[in-house]
Structure formats: C-alpha cells, structure tokens
Chains A and B, each alone.
Chain A
Amino acid sequence: MNRPGWAAAVAVLMAGASGSHPTQLAAQADTTIAQEGLYNRPFIASLGQTSIGGYVEGNTNYFREEGVSDGFSMELRRFNIFLFSSVSQRVRFLSELEFEHGTEEIALETAQVDFRVGAGLSFRVGVILPPLGYLNQNHDSPQWDFVERPLVSTDIIPSTLSEVGGGVYGRFFRGPFTLSYDAYLTNGLQDGVIDNDVGRTDIASGKSEEAFGEDNNGSPALSGRVGIHHRVWGELGISYYGGSYNAFRLEGEEIDDRRRVSITALDFGGALGPARVRGEVAFASIDVPSGMVEVFGDGQWAGHLDVLLPAWRPRFFEYADAVVLVGVRGEFVDYNTGTFSSTGKRIYDEIRAVVPTVSFRPTPGTVLRLNYRYHWTRDFAGNPTSRLAGFQLGFATYF
C-alpha cells in the first residue's frame, strides 16, 4: 500500500455511503481491525472534504424483577452524529456527538485529530477513546446483535470512556497477520470511583463529569493496547489502562495518598466455523482508602462471551445481504473480589446473566434485535437478592 491506508479505507466507505445503503460494515466487524473501529463507519453526506454520518438506537423493554414489573418502556437510547474530515493527505479529524436517552446526556464523545507519519506511526490528540478492550472504540450500537452492552464493557471498562489526551498508534503487516498498537496519555478517572451513590467501588462513576475539563490530580493515566489480527481467524488484543483517580493534591500540598485504578483486559473476536465469537475479560485493581476497605472492593473482574450464528438468509425486497442471526451471550461480573475479615468467606456482590438473541439485519448497517435477558444478582454477603428477566426489542441503524 503506497497511498495511506486509512485514506483508501475512508474512500471505500464514502463510496459505500454514497449509495442507498452502506455495505461495508458490521457483518464484517469481526474481520476488521479493532483499531480501525472509529473510521470503519459509513459517512453519508459529504461536503468537500468533510462527511457526516451517525447512528440511532431505540428499544422497548419489558422486565420483571421478583414478580414486580414497571411494564413496558420505550426509549430512544442513543443518537450519535459523526463528523469526519480529511484535512490533508496526512491529517484527519473525527468527532462524535452523542445524545443519550434523548437529550438527557449530550456529550462530545470524540474529537480527535490524527497525524499520520506512516502505517507504523500516527499521532493522535484531542478527546479520544482509550483503547481499553474492544468495545470502547467499537461501541456503535448497529455493530452489535445484543441490545445491552456487556457488563464488562460498562462496569469494569466504563465504556464509552472518552478522555482528553494524546498518543501514538500504528500497524505492522506480515502475511495474513497485522500487529496493531496504541498508547495514550489521558486525564484519567476521578474521585467518583469511590465517591458514588452505588455504595461500592464503581469505575464508571469515576468518569470525568465536566466532560473535558482539567484533570483532578495533574497525573495522567496511561492506556494502551496491542492487537494481533489474522485475516481469517480474527483478532486477539491485550490492553491496559492505569492512573491515579483521586485528588491527592490541594493547592500544591499533598492531602492524601495517591490512589490508582488499573484495568487489564483481554479481548478476542473471530470466526469459529460458521459461528462468530466475541469475548472479553477485564480485571480491575483499585487502591481503596483504608477507611473504606471491604465495603469498597479493591478488586473487580468481569467477562462475557457472545456466540452468533447466521441462521437464515431471507431474500426479500431489494435486500440482497439480509441475514437472521441467532446467538447467546453469557456474562459475569464480580464487583468485589475481597474476603470478609469477619468470617473469612468471600465477598460476593456479583451478577450473572444469559442473553439469547435473535437479530435481523436487512443490511449490515441496520439491525433489529430481540433479546431475552435473565439476570441473577447476589448481594455483598452472597444472599441471592434478586432475579430479573425480560425482553428487549430494539433497532439500531447507521444513517
């Protein structure tokens, strides 16, 4: 490849996007490189060198917890708009504005500038998505055949995690293999990790609230991912995110110990015979102030495994690529890996869930999905506190 690879990819995307429906996408999500998730999207309208695209997701839910239900609810969960601009041969800009739950939360999720030196090295600055796990950089709803994101990707890896920072990334090729790497420094998580109304260590509550304000402690977080991709088999990635989360300095004076969160994740996605498999595990280790230990766990971990099988390729209307997929997700999260000093037994605080799904993709960029979800919660002491189950019917599409 002489020409810059990404420019070619974007050109292909734009060509696809200029047709009536995108063709390039999610059906191949498992065979494209995780690192390219951000650019591997349809951008429709193009104004000179700038193109606009987006996606929308809506669901209707019916859940019952221990016999109690709030009935049906309908929600427009996400509405995202991307703006892509190929500023010059070597410089590109991507931003993503997210409206979550209608207009309740509006966030600039991404606003990054990439400067490309060569395939093996690019620089990136701005509001970026740290490459922790697979989903964070590949979070577009239409790519997924399940309504909910896996718990590992919301509660251990607090996707969508976007932070101000910068770093480098690149790729190397050999035969069918591609090796990709990413490394960034960002502002990092904040005090919410332990100052939250969840009553436990909650990494997601540590996301910076004033979206892109200053860091609370002047000590950046480091994140990185190395992925090895095979054209047929798929990709395996290992990633890390770590940094101090607490405001340990006030007016230049040390007022507290420096406390860190580190998260290590292993993600894989690929083909297993006719099935598509995607899974991830993440382990978090959190420094908890000595006055809060036990109630606030210093270790958490979670994992999920999704298996999807194309079941039927119906031919109707003009949808040549229509496919019905059936699949299942199994997932687990342990919010507190500690043991009780009082009894020596393990602390529970965990959730298990299974989610069978049927999804219909008339085109790769649009999905209609029906999930059944069964969800077991055990509280801190291990009491089986609740069983929750229900149905979710949703759609998500790029536009």
Chain B
Amino acid sequence: MRARVAALAPSVLVLMSGIAGCELLTPDAPESNQVLDGPVEGMTPGQVRLHILGDEEFARRFAISDGLGPIFVATSCEQCHVGDGKGHPSFNLQRFGRSTPDGFDPMARFGGAQLQNRAIPGHEAESVPVGATGLSTFTPPAVTGLGYLDEVDDATLVALADPDDRNGDGISGRLQLHEPSEIIRTVLDLEGQSRPDPEAHGTMVEGKYIGRFGKKALTVNLLHQTVGAYHEDMGVTSDLLPEDLFNHRQGGRTSDDVPDPEVGSSTVANVVFYLKTLRVPERRNQDDPAVVAGEQLFETIGCAACHLPTLRTGRSEVSVLSEVEFHPYTDLLLHDMGPELDDGYTEGHALTSEWRTPPLWGIGLQQDFQGGDVFLLHDGRARSLRQAIEFHGGEGAASRAAFRALSNDLQAQLLRFLESL
C-alpha cells in the first residue's frame, strides 16, 4: 500500500505544480505601450465582440478558392498592416498613371491606378504599362486610432484648411476633394445612416467630397477604404465592388472561379467596426525631460503646424469615440512637400507633390512591425526619423531648415519626442 502511495504521489505533485505553473511559466502580455493592437477602452461587451469578429476577418488569409485574386498584392489585411502597424516593403503597393493636358489619367484601361504584382495560377501579374509618367510606391501605414480620425467632423477640416495661406505661416493645408461617384455616394450614405449627426459628414465642398484616408486621402471613410482594400489589394469582391479586377495583360475582365461577392456585407461591416475601434497608441517616457523639451521644439520649429497635436471628434454612435480630444499629430490635409517627394503620380485634385499629413502616433514603435528596420514616408524611402525630416521640402522646408539649425542636443531631444509617440 505504501509503495502505491509513493508511486502515485509524484504524479499528483507533477499535476498540481503543472496547474500552478500555468500562469507562472507562460508568457505574459507585452506592456500595452509596446504594442499597437487592441480595442479602445470602455466599449460594451457587444461592441467588443464585433471588434473581435472584425479582428479575425482582418487577419484572415484568403485562399485562391476563397476568392483571392485573380490578381492581388497580399492575402490578408494583416499581412500588410502587421500587428496594426506599418508593413514590410515586400507588401508595398504601386500606383501609376500619366499626366495629360486634361489632367492626370490613372490609366484604368491598362490596369491602373493600382498595380497587382501577384497573380494566382493561370493569371498574369500586372506590370507598369509603357506610357506611365508617374509611379508611386505606398508602404502600408499603421491603422491605429482610425475611428477617432473618422469621427472628426467635416466642418473641423474645412476650418483647418488654409489653401491660400492667409495666416502667412508658409503652410497652406488643402482639403482633398473627389468628384462625386457612385461608390463615394454609396459609402457615405451607408455610413450616414448610423451617424447621430448625418450632416457632419459627407459635406460637399465646391461640388466635391472630402477625402480623408490614404496617403493622398483617396478614400472618404473607413468603409470606402475597406471595400477598396479588399478589391484592389487582395482581389476580393464585395457587395459594393462586386466585379473582379480588370487585367490588361490577360486581356479582359479576369475572373477567378469563386462566385461574387467573395465577402459579405456583414464581414465588411465588422472589419470597419474593428478599424473604427482600434485604440490610440500609448506613449512611452512621456515625462522624460528630454521628451518634454522635444515636444516644445516640435511646436516651435513648426512641425506642429501640419502634424497637429490635438483634434476633437464630433458626435459618434460609438459613445467612447464621441466628442473627445485625441492626439494624432496630423491635420488630415494635403501639403505640397516639394520636388523631394514628388513622384509624378496623384489622386483626386492633389498635386503630384501633395501628400496628406500622416499621423505620427505610434511612430516610435514601427521598427517592431517592419522587421527591425524602419521604412518611413509614403514609400518607405526614409530609413530613420532624421531622414524622414530631411525629405521635407516645399511647405515643410522651413521646419526642416529650423531642425537643421538646432544643436545636436536639441535635435536629439526632438527625435526622443518622436520616439515616445
């Protein structure tokens, strides 16, 4: 009997210590200020559930037999927007077009504006057609805090714009404006149905609609961005864009063998809700004296004129996003960045040298999502924060000059501040 107990005791012990060790010996969550993903706080359980459903769809890798392609760039949203941060250059998008006397032609008949550089078997990947005069590369941006940006009233942006530089600071932010189209009307309508203040969005300025998301503010809201991404980046059709992409190399509307739409409207809605309720990146070392000093410099040398530290949301159907201040470091307006950043390519009524100010929140963590390196600016050409500043021409040239004029110590403080975002 004793022998039996002696033999059983160790197994029971092992079992018990195993259970006790579960918490101890398994990895803890990383500090929330070291990662970007996660929902905004204060949502109802039902809202958290939608967020998680959207998260799963955002991560979902499409198989060929799920509707991937026939031409595509990546197989999931998450593959490009890694951990909700910026993406790796191998998932850069390329867009092209040509300048004509009548304006910029996105060369739709040649598969433009966006290139799909990958293809499923039996289809040919696209290449940039002869005759394109502009070609721009777009590094996947972070998607954090977008709900806040989405909830800023149009009126706020209209008030921020200063196209004729009436305040004489050398900086003239412009609204991106798009000609009305069926898709823009539809996405604004659909979204308007759920807004408490439908008039606060979808405002017409000079008979056009305000662009908000994308490096040149190509899309008007998160729904527009999402159906566009499924369609152009993954070759996945939805209710709003139900036809597969045109592939000029194959000669015709290319189709895969999957019935369209390849994602349902509820999937799209959940992904939009997910984007809308992604939290704002948390800061690190916020109270470090060098960081505090750097923040001051950011104001005084004029960075904050475009990278606006504080914006305020309007009324939102998601109560945590409603009428709150937040700190994205963008004004969501287009700025002429000079020949330094002119690729000869454009969208909407932007000049080829105009880019929408990108939010700087989360910029201090991007190396953790780009494979240990950083690839900054619209095409990833800047390999450090300092280089990113050095490419600021045009309206940004004055602040670049002011940065160059700072002593090494002060420059370091400014960079420390950026790293803390």
Contact = CB atoms under 8 A, between A and B. Distances in A.
Contact of A65 (B10, B15, B27, B74): B27
Which of B19, B27, B66, B88 has the most A CB atoms < 10 Å from its CB? B27
Interface stretch (A34-42, A145-153, A155-163, A285-293): A285-293
B65 A195 contact: yes
A370 B15 contact: yes
Given A256-B122, A383-B83, A342 B30 contact: no
Interface in B273-330: none
A387 interface: yes
B28 A67 contact: yes
Contacts of B18: 370, 372, 391, 393
Contacts of A315: 3, 7
A69 interface: yes
Contacts of A273: none
The A interface, classified by DSSP as helix, strand, loop or mixed, is: loop
A343 B372 contact: no
B82 interface: yes
A195 B92 CA distance: 23
Contacts of B65: 195
Contact of A67 (B29, B60, B79, B92): B29
B418 interface: no
A381 B370 contact: yes
A383 B35 CA distance: 12
Interface stretch (B113-121, B169-177, B211-219, B352-360): B113-121
Interface in B46-94: 60-66, 71, 74-76, 79, 82-83, 88-90, 92
A195 B4 contact: no
Chain A interface category by residue count: 35 or more
A96 to B, nearest CB: 29
Nearest to B22: A62
Contacts of A342: 88-90, 92
Contacts of A289: 119-121
Contacts of A368: 11
A27 interface: no
B120 A197 contact: no
A28 interface: no
A360 B25 contact: no
A201 B120 CA distance: 13
A68 interface: yes
A66 B25 contact: no
Which of A191, A259, A342, A372 has the most B CB atoms < 10 Å from its CB? A342
B14 interface: yes
B121 A194 contact: yes
13 contacts: A62-B22, A64-B22, A67-B28, A199-B61, A259-B121, A289-B120, A291-B71, A295-B79, A380-B79, A381-B82, A383-B371, A387-B27, A391-B25
Interface of A: 62-69, 191, 194-199, 246, 255-256, 259, 289-292, 294-295, 314-317, 324, 340-343, 345, 348, 358, 360, 368, 370, 372, 379-383, 385, 387-391, 393
**Ordered nearest first, which 7 A-B pairs have the shortest CB separation?**
A67-B29, A199-B61, A291-B119, A381-B371, A64-B26, A195-B64, A342-B89
Interface of B: 3-4, 6-7, 10-11, 14-15, 18-19, 21-23, 25-30, 60-66, 71, 74-76, 79, 82-83, 88-90, 92, 118-125, 368-373
Given A64-B27, A194-B121, A291-B124, 16 more contacts: A64-B22, A66-B28, A199-B61, A289-B119, A294-B90, A295-B118, A315-B3, A340-B89, A340-B90, A342-B89, A342-B92, A372-B21, A380-B79, A382-B371, A391-B19, A393-B15
